[in-house]
């Protein structure tokens, strides 16, 4: 074995041993999801851009809505939107950007990237605005919030995941903190 091969062999052993605990299970307890609030956003008709870079690009304007739940209540402000790229094979890449206004008047910026996956025929029904059983598709996001210091600063200090349900004229997103 030459010196280079010996160095690669030793590096591989060191790398493998550094992950030895993974075979025994996680190093810490699994995170727990805690329901925080739901957003029901009302939508205007879809703006179709067409096929660009191997994907069907669309924009869905957000016209308003409500925020309800144990950790946050308020309204969805009009003017945001959801940028989507429907890719072959039933994958839709999503990035929604919008503002919430808490009942105390605090404005909260939301950036909510995610994915929606389903059989291509289900994706097509969703794209047409048809009602589809939420169990027929996977719709998850990882929201981020920008908010001033004050009673809602906790939104910047937590990690979130969310589940979406697309309805013909709205979308409902349930937000969970990762504890």
Average pLDDT estimate for 109-138: 92
- Asked if pLDDT for residue 99 goes beyond 70, the answer is yes
CATH of residue 94's domain is 2.40.160.20
Average pLDDT estimate for 12-29: 64
Q: What count of other Cβ atoms lies within 10 Å of the Cβ of residue 159?
A: 12
Summarised one tens digit per residue, pLDDT across range 62-92 is 999 999 999 999 999 999 999 999 998 889 9
pLDDT band of 21, cuts 50, 70, 90: low
- Asked if pLDDT for residue 167 goes beyond 50, the answer is yes
Q: Which region among 3-17, 76-90, 112-126 has the lowest average model confidence (pLDDT)?
A: 3-17
| Count: domains in the chain | 1
Nearest to 67 by CA among 105, 33, 101, 104: 101
Integer Cα distance of 63 and 156 in angstroms: 25
The residue segments making up the domain with residue 93 are 27-178
Its pTM stands at 0.83
- Please indicate, yes or no, if residue 14 is contained in any of the structural domains: no
- Asked if pLDDT for residue 6 goes beyond 50, the answer is no
- Please indicate, yes or no, if residue 9 is contained in any of the structural domains: no
Taking the CA atoms of 26, 28, 29 and 31 in sequence, report the sign of the dihedral they define.
negative
- Please indicate, yes or no, if residue 54 is contained in any of the structural domains: yes
In the prediction, which pLDDT does 172 show? 97
- Asked if pLDDT for residue 42 goes beyond 80, the answer is yes
Integer Cα distance of 13 and 16 in angstroms: 5
């Amino acid at each position: 074995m030459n010196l280079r091969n010996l160095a690669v062999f030793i590096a591989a052993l060191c790398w493998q041993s550094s992950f030895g605990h993974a075979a025994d299970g996680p190093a810490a307890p699994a995170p727990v999801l805690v329901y925080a609030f739901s957003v029901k956003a009302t939508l205007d008709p879809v703006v179709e851009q067409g096929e660009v870079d191997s994907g069907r690009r669309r924009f869905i304007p957000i016209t308003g809505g409500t925020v309800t739940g144990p950790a946050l209540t308020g309204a969805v402000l009009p003017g945001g939107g959801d940028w989507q790229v429907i890719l072959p094979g039933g994958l839709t890449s999503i990035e929604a950007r919008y503002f919430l206004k808490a009942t105390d008047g605090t404005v909260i910026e939301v950036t909510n990237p995610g994915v929606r996956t389903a059989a291509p025929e289900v994706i097509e029904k969703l794209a047409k605005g048809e009602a589809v059983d939420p169990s027929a598709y996977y719709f998850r996001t990882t929201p981020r919030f920008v908010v001033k210091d004050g009673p809602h600063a906790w939104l910047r200090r937590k990690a979130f995941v969310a589940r979406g349900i697309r309805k013909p004229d709205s979308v409902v997103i349930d937000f969970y903190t990762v504890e």
